[in-house]
Structure 1
Amino acid sequence: MIDGACMTNPLSLWNFYFRNKRKVLPVVGILALAILGVVVTDSLLASARETAYATFGSYQKLILVAPRATRDQDLANPLQESLSRLRDVQLQVDSLDGPGGISSYYDAVVALPARLRGQLPSVQQVEVDAANARYYAARLRGDLVPLGDLIVRVQRLQSEEKSFTQLVQQLTERPNDPRPLITYLQQHQTWLQSVVPDSAQLGRLQSAVISASADANGLQASLQALSRDSANLNTSGQSLANLPVPPSPSGTIDQFKSALDRLTASLGSIEEPQPGLDKLLADSARIPGTAFVKRDAYSNLDINLLAGNAQFDLYGVDQPGMAQLLALYGDRVAAGRLPRPNANEIAVSEEIARSRHVWIGGQLGNNLDELDRLPDAFSVVGIIRGPTRIGVIPLDYMTQHYLFERRYQGLVVVPQSGHEQVVHDQLQKMIGSTAFRLFDWPYIKAKIDSLIQNLDAINRFLVILVTIVLSLVVGLLNNLFFRQRMNEFGLLAAVGYGRWALIRRVAWESLGVTVAAWGVGIGAAIAVLSWFNTSFMVPHGLVMNVFDWNVLLLHTLPIPLMVFLFGMSTVGWQLLRLDPISIIERRD
């Protein structure tokens, strides 16, 4: 078929392409590879943005009201003041069992002759009181061990704060010298873990406080009984010269109990939800345009995005709230069930399950991935399918088993369609200067766009650079091929082809090459992206639109267009200056 066309019209474009395939195919290959690279790069960048949008897509229909304070601040600030007051009291209580204290008094009573103790019942009672006081003093000293440990931690925190202040001052004075920062990180890299106690330590601390308070009461009662019985002994004229005066540190005990009470109050304040949450819950439910409001002991999972890691938010709501959220987004439980109210269970979207390589019966949490905020290990009991990615955990279990989740509660406020901005403005007015902040879709989207904005700028720069380089390379190749075809153009000009006719012919030849290269590049890009999407993106819960015509068309057309224009400008300029006589006479 091609041979027939060549015989009938030796000047046809098909004849040109067939005779010059060794010259045409490399140009087509170079342009196609460039277009393939641009499409793949732009598609991956678009995938990073779309995956981030999908990961936080639940914010499109709700507003999250969260406390401003961080978990570490919630713990460290209330404890630091109370613990700092215990140091002096601890030293005073330690002296109770030292020289001249309860043990010395008990030893003096026991050292009395047995005959004397038998004749004087009051002495026997004093001995019992001294034994009880000694017992409670020993227990109290044991109770002070965890308290003393936390006191040391707080003291170290104060020391670290001083070191950090010095570091800031050094960096301010010498901002280009990284040595102070490196030294600080080497010396203090684990100070936060060693200073701030975790929830288990806080539970042991509270047990120690309760035990210490009870033992302090027992010690105080024993000392009071000891003082009373000693006074009775003196009143009855049975005073013994070799029996010392019993210790009476009631002031120290009262001071110690007062410090314990303050610490207990601090622990109680940490266990309670964020102050003002109940009022905010009631007020937000009355905002016109609000569909429903739920308490939220939220947490998150660490997942991998193309542009880095991100935290996928989990909503810790009650079971009616779980059903309401699924109905809100049009999602459904595709496998398994929703979590029970008081169980360490979780249900997540299937994309997140694929991303974390779990299914029904698997586990998620910081026992398995230390970057997860979700504590311990939660069993996956439900896989959710639908247009919006979502994860739910039980509110009751989170608030009953985890101190910080009980303290760090928020609200999920769902506006009615069309009332999002009104509800947001009313919530913002309610919050004012309180320790809460809002997270909604405009805020989340702006954060995502700002993170990817730099990648967009880099990508645009690379596309422009590739376009310029390709234009130069293909332009040079066109000039080289043009020089090799000078005899052909000279003969065509000699037989009657005008300069503009030759330019039109070269334009059609170049246009055919660039269009073919663009088509091959687009086809190869679709094939590569389809394979990559099936083999990698979908199994990892990532989003990729293979047929994104904004990328396939608008982002790739500048390359063949610039190559065509640059190549034609150089060749056309030479054709306008073409002298067919000199070419025929071989004077070029």
Structure 2
Amino acid sequence: MGNPLSLWHFYFRNKRKVLPVIGILALAILGVVVTDSLLASARETAYATYGSYQKLILIAPRATRDQDLANPLQDSLAQLHEVQLQVDVLDGPGGLSSYYAAVTAIPGRVQAQLPAMRRLQTDAANARYYAARLRGDLVPLGDLIVRVQRLQSEEKAFEQLVQQLAQNPNDPRPLLAYLQQHQTLLRTVLPDSAQLGRLQAAVTSASSDAAGLQQSLQAMSRDTANLNSAGSNVADLPIPPSPSATIDQFKVALDHLTASLGSIQSPQPGLEKLVADSARIPGTAFVKRDAYSNLDINMLAGQAQFDLYGFDQPGMAQLLALYGDRVAVGRLPRADANEIAISEEIARSRQVWIGGKLGNNVDELDRLPDAFTVVGIIRGPTRIGLIPLDYMTEHYLFERRYQGLVVVPQTGHEQAVHDQLQALIGDSAFRLFDWSYIKAKIDSLIANLDVINRFLILLVTIVLALVVGLLNNLFFRQRMNEFGLLAAVGYSRWGLILRVVWESLGVTLASWLIGVGLGVAVLSWFNISFIVPHGLLMNVFDWNVLLLHTLPIPLMVFLFGMGTVGWQLLRLDPISIIERRD
């Protein structure tokens, strides 16, 4: 027969008391392991998504698409809107059509006597023709005017939102209402690349028709003057309209719009010089122009934009060699095709493979235009996406306009190259994106989650300490006779306390081991069934989480429970307990 006073005998006799306590603590530790691991997974996945910035610096245009497009167009279209109304009047009732009808209504005998009248009729017909064409040319311009007006109303709505939030920052209802109503603002208000192409063609056609209209009006004025100077004034001859000021204003506005569209189509000024100057910085490995874009991917904590690098063919190979990646399946994109190669984690996240399609035709949140065919799957330590520079800049206005620059520093020269690039850019229309900037942004986004998680862990620890402490006190009172007998047979108060310490230590240690084991099992299952298939990242055996983040719970519970029980054992009177038992 074993020792009846051994710890194993105690656990066996009191299993109905011990097992619930172990279960409660183990479940609490399981919850901490899972929540902390998921939070760590969110951070590590974000780091991996933007991991390419650890070895390169991206120099991108400072202006955003909506700023660079809306501002110049809005100035020109403010004039075009007024001109459109004037041209409508010119070709409307009492305008060129009425004048042409009046000229053709002149009796045939008068027309036969005056050869100049034939020219006047021809010029009037030409003027009416060009005016009608001009009205047709203004249709796409009018559509863009409406879009810009909508943009102005959206800006007013945003200003009102800012004022409401400033007055009551704790009330999220104005923000939620704004997001629900205006979440597709830029996509619905601002024109895309195809619309800009059609707009430019309309501007060219409108300029030509405006010039033809002006020439016809001038010819009509000359014909009328010739008739009058020849002394052949016809009483019924109408006075031709002379909207030369309107036409001149219209042509000036069109010239402004043409210039603004031309500036949008060309790369931002200073890019070529920036490429050359960056390549001469000491410690630079290589410099590449970048028609960058991005894809929308799902993360554990919301969505993120995965950056794509638009390089030429040699640049793609250099970037893969830089990170030690390789094309595991398929090939690299061709220079003249809408093709893309992405890391296998991103492919799993977007649920595509070789032959699949990516782009804003597939997902409207993608910045990558149209639909690109996946031709390569990249495998390696760094997540990379590659698209062809030539195709992007030749087929898309925005990508030609918003070309960036990738600078790869040599090992050990990262900070020096960064500082020289910062000095080189100065206050120009470019800005730097490097790993320190990206990492700080990620950490700032997750910082609030860290605070909330620590608060919850502290709250759970306090609650468990109170609950288990109360249970220990309840069990202690149920064992008063046992402690009295042990004291009577020779156990000192400190001996009893030491015995309870070993009993509690065994319970808390078993709870911690079971909780951590369950956490590893649950995380392993979740990692295989969800994390990996969705291209996310999780370190199941993160000992920082398994040890440092879970030990405070059993430690706090142990100390609180022992504090209350130990205090009662120090005041224990075995004689009174035995007498009460009798």
TM-score (norm 2): 0.92
For the residue of structure 2 that corresponds to 1:539, the secondary structure is coil
Q: Is the 8 A contact 2:481 2:581 kept in 1?
A: no
Deviation at 1:537, TM superposition (A): 0.7
Corresponding residue for 2:289? 295
Corresponding residue for 1:41? 35
Corresponding residue for 2:104? 110
Corresponding residue for 1:212? 206
Change (3 A) 1:384 1:181: closer
Change (3 A) 1:307 1:17: same
Distance 1:446 1:404 in 2: 28
Q: Is the 8 A contact 1:31 1:518 kept in 2?
A: yes
Pair 1:570-2:572 in alignment? no
Pair 1:324-2:315 in alignment? no
Tell me whether 147-156 or 278-287 shows the greater mean CA deviation.
147-156
Q: Is the 8 A contact 1:297 1:398 kept in 2?
A: yes
Q: 10, 18, 22: which one pairs with 2:4?
A: 10
Q: 486, 489, 498: which one pairs with 1:495?
A: 489
Distance 1:469 1:166 in 2: 44
Task: State how 1:439-454 maps to structure 2 within 5 Å.
Answer: 439-454=433-448
Q: 277, 280, 294: which one pairs with 1:283?
A: 277
Q: Is the 8 A contact 2:354 2:375 kept in 1?
A: yes
Distance 1:184 1:478 in 2: 54
Distance 2:249 2:139 in 1: 18
For the residue of structure 1 that corresponds to 2:286, the secondary structure is strand
Instruction: Look up the equivalent residue of 1:478 and give its one-letter code.
Output: N
Q: Is the 8 A contact 1:346 1:378 kept in 2?
A: yes
Distance 1:181 1:255 in 2: 42
Distance 1:167 1:455 in 2: 26
Distance 2:177 2:495 in 1: 75
Distance 1:71 1:274 in 2: 12
Change (3 A) 1:217 1:578: same
Change (3 A) 1:110 1:13: same
Q: Is the 8 A contact 1:84 1:154 kept in 2?
A: no
Question: How many percent identity over aligned positions?
Answer: 83
Corresponding residue for 1:333? 327
Corresponding residue for 1:4? none
Corresponding residue for 1:25? 19
Deviation at 1:550, TM superposition (A): 0.9
**Any idea what the Cα deviations from partners look like across 1:26-74, whole Å, max 9, x if unmatched?**
2221111111111111111111111111111111111111122111111
Corresponding residue for 1:266? 260
Deviation at 1:166, TM superposition (A): 6.1
Task: State how 1:292-441 maps to structure 2 within 5 Å.
Answer: 292-441=286-435
Deviation at 1:241, TM superposition (A): 4.4
Pair 1:201-2:195 in alignment? yes
For the residue of structure 2 that corresponds to 1:578, the secondary structure is coil
Q: 507, 513, 526: which one pairs with 1:519?
A: 513
Change (3 A) 1:536 1:430: same
Q: Is the 8 A contact 1:274 1:407 kept in 2?
A: yes
Tell me whether 484-493 or 32-41 shows the greater mean CA deviation.
484-493
Pair 1:480-2:474 in alignment? yes
Q: 443, 448, 453: which one pairs with 1:459?
A: 453
Tell me whether 143-152 or 338-347 shows the greater mean CA deviation.
143-152
**Any idea what the Cα deviations from partners look like across 1:90-142, whole Å, max 9, x if unmatched?**
34433443456433443344334445545654443333333222212211122
Change (3 A) 1:473 1:358: same
Q: Is the 8 A contact 2:50 2:307 kept in 1?
A: yes
Pair 1:556-2:550 in alignment? yes
Task: State how 1:90-101 maps to structure 2 within 5 Å.
Answer: 90-98=84-92, 101=95
Distance 1:119 1:478 in 2: 124
Change (3 A) 1:219 1:560: same
Deviation at 1:161, TM superposition (A): 4.7
Q: 126, 130, 153: which one pairs with 2:124?
A: 130
Instruction: Look up the equivalent residue of 1:562 and give its one-letter code.
Output: M
Deviation at 1:453, TM superposition (A): 1.2
For the residue of structure 2 that corresponds to 1:586, the secondary structure is helix
Is there any run of 5+ residues in structure 2 with no aligned partner, and where?
none
Tell me whether 7-16 or 443-452 shows the greater mean CA deviation.
7-16
**Any idea what the Cα deviations from partners look like across 1:417-467, whole Å, max 9, x if unmatched?**
111111111111112112221111111111111111111111111212222
Instruction: Look up the equivalent residue of 1:317 and give its one-letter code.
Output: F
Distance 1:246 1:450 in 2: 69
Distance 1:263 1:581 in 2: 103
Question: What RMSD, in angstroms, separates the aligned Cα atoms of the two structures?
Answer: 2.8
Pair 1:50-2:44 in alignment? yes
Distance 2:572 2:509 in 1: 27
Instruction: Look up the equivalent residue of 1:483 and give its one-letter code.
Output: R
Q: Is the 8 A contact 1:305 1:542 kept in 2?
A: yes
Tell me whether 74-83 or 398-407 shows the greater mean CA deviation.
398-407
**How many residue pairs align between the two structures?**
582
TM-score (norm 1): 0.91
Distance 2:508 2:173 in 1: 55
Distance 2:497 2:352 in 1: 63
Pair 1:150-2:116 in alignment? no
